[in-house]
Every structure is written in structure tokens, then in C-alpha cells.
Structure 1
Amino acid sequence: MAQQLSDDDLSAALAGDPSGFSAVYVAISPAVLGYFRARGVDDAEALTQDVFVDVLPKLAGVTGGHTGLRTFIFSVAHARLVDYRRREERTPHLAEYDPLNDARSSASAEDEALGSLGGISATLARLNEEQREVLVLRIVADLSIEQVAGIMDKTPGAIKQLQRRGLSALRELVTEKDHAAS
């Protein structure tokens, strides 16, 4: 249960005494906090603090005793609640990205990259198996000639020859494809 505010504490608060304000805060802040929580405020503690920051410099002008003080504090609390609701209405609602609700009609960069890899794979498939393997190991896997030779159990000279022939064949296939497209 909240502490009751004595007449001496009220007089001290209205006179600007910090101990009087402290007593007002201890007696009335739980009710203000409960008001904000009951109204569904996310950060009710911060809004309660804002109310008492607004009330402090205006305490000297409060009239009506205990009832007048409570009325004044809750009128400030109500004004802060209205401000909070208005700010909440203007704040955009952030939602998680859901690819199932994505209505874009163009393909994503990922889809385009994977699609172009499909074209490369189809072109590479037209090379013989050894040329394709050498080019993939050298270019995609970024292995040295010696490493590829060890993997394929061939000499470095044979790997160089397969790479040269594979690149030459690939160049012809790409040139052929470009001429067909235009």
C-alpha cells in the first residue's frame, strides 16, 4: 500500500523543499505508475519519471491541498499519456521480412547469379571431362597447377596443356553463343 502524504510534507513540497518533493514522489508515484501500466504503456516507469520531472518546477503554484496536488499530478500524467499515444500512432510498425509475402516481380540478385551459373555450367558441360575438371579446380577452387596435378594424378605439363585447350574451347563456345544471340 502506498505511503500517505502528511500535511507537513505537502507544505514542504509546495514551499520547494526537496524533502517535501521526495515525500510527494514516494506517496503518489506508485499510483501514477499503476495508471500507466493499466493503460498499456510499454515503459511505464520512464513515463512516470517524466510526469514528476514536469511536476517539480510547478509545485509552488498548486492549490487545493492533497486533493489539488493529486488532481494536478494526474492531469500531467494524462497529458503525458496522450502524448505517448500520439507518438505511438506516428511511429511506423516494423515487421519481419517474409519472403512468402514478397510481391516483387523481378528476380533477386541471388536468383540472377545462380541463373548465370547455370549458363556457365551448361557451357562447361560441353567441354571434355578432364578440361572441365582442370578449369573448375584452377578457377573456382583457386588451386595451383601443382595441386591440380596431384589431385588428377597427372604431370604439371599435362595440366597446363588441358587448361590451355579447355580455355580455348571455352572461348570458342562463348563466342559461338554470343553470335547466336545477336
Structure 2
Amino acid sequence: MGKGRGSRRTETYDKELGDVVARAQRGDETAFSMAYRTVHPPLLGYLRGLVGDDAEDVASDAWLEIARDLGRFRGDGAGFRAWTASIARNRAIDHLRRLKSRPRGSFLESDLAELPARQDTAEEALETVTTRQALALIAELPRQQAEAVLLQTVIGLDGPAAARVLGKRPGAVRSATHRGLKRLEKRLLSLARGRVTDSDSSPLGESR
């Protein structure tokens, strides 16, 4: 799947992001805007997996804190992605505590109607569905598995960075990610089979 090329692209992406963040820390407002435009979309996707329709509000709170504490950040582009994800996660937890509710997705089953018919792995399948569809599926996972998968597939963190954000050992996060992806794979296959069954049982599919 071109993992070598993907790794090089990620390294280039993180180097560029790190340079932009360094300029933002020196007071360059344009650089901060560039960092925001780069990091915000995946960060918002991560938050949607945690708090559903309240993600925009939680993201706004997170970015206020990120802007306030930017001068304290030390690290490269990958570190900045992990740092912002950690801040966003803390704001999401605070939000959920206020609501006294567990994180749940608010996506409708109708959003899953166009899932691919068959894929070899959950990672490959998630690349072919829309962001909203993928988040709807991930939101069905147990909390720890959902967070581990979100951090690595949506934010793009590696295992050790995801473990630091979650405050867990890398092995535990690796295990949660594996279990979560296996659950997603089964869910995708189940939905795909359901589509095939519905098609076969339709009037157009009858052999009479």
C-alpha cells in the first residue's frame, strides 16, 4: 500500500507543520492561521468521534487554550499534532462531565448506506468511505478502542504518541487499536452482506 511513500509524506508534512508552528510562536499570525487550517480538520473529526454534534463548540474551547499556551509548546510537527489532540481530548472530557454522559456519535444509520461492498482490512475500508461514515462506525466502538483508532486514523498519530495522549502504555493502546479495527472490519462485512441480501431479495432480483 505504499507505506514507504506514505511515511515520507508524513515526515515532510510534519516538518512543514513544525516550521509553521515555530513561526507562529514568534508572533507570526499568518503562520498560526496556517497551522490552524492544517490541524483543525482532523482535530474536529476526532472530537466528533468523542462528543458528536458538540464538536465545534469543544474545538473552539480547545483552540483558545492552544493559542493561549502556544509559547509553552516544545516539539516538532508530530508533537504539535499530539499536543493539540491532548488539549482537545481534555476539553471533550470536561464537556462530557458537564453533560454527565458517555461519548456517543450522533450519526444516522442512513449515512452508512454507501459502504464499500468488500475490503480486505478495516484500514483499507475506512479509506474508501466518507469521513462522516467512518466516524459513525468508530463511534460504535467501546470508548478505549474508539479513542485509540481515532487518534491513529483521524489525527494520524503513531502508537507511542497516541499512548501519551491517552496516558496509557503503548502496548495497551496497540491492543485497543487492533481490537477496534477488527470490530470495524466485522461491522463493515456485516453491513456489506446486508446490502447484498437486500439487493437479492428485491423484486428486480427475483428469478420468477
- TM-score of the pair, normalised by structure 1: 0.44
- TM-score of the pair, normalised by structure 2: 0.39
Q: Comparing both chains, which one has the higher relative contact order based on Cα–Cα distances under 8 Å and sequence gaps of 6 or more? A: 2
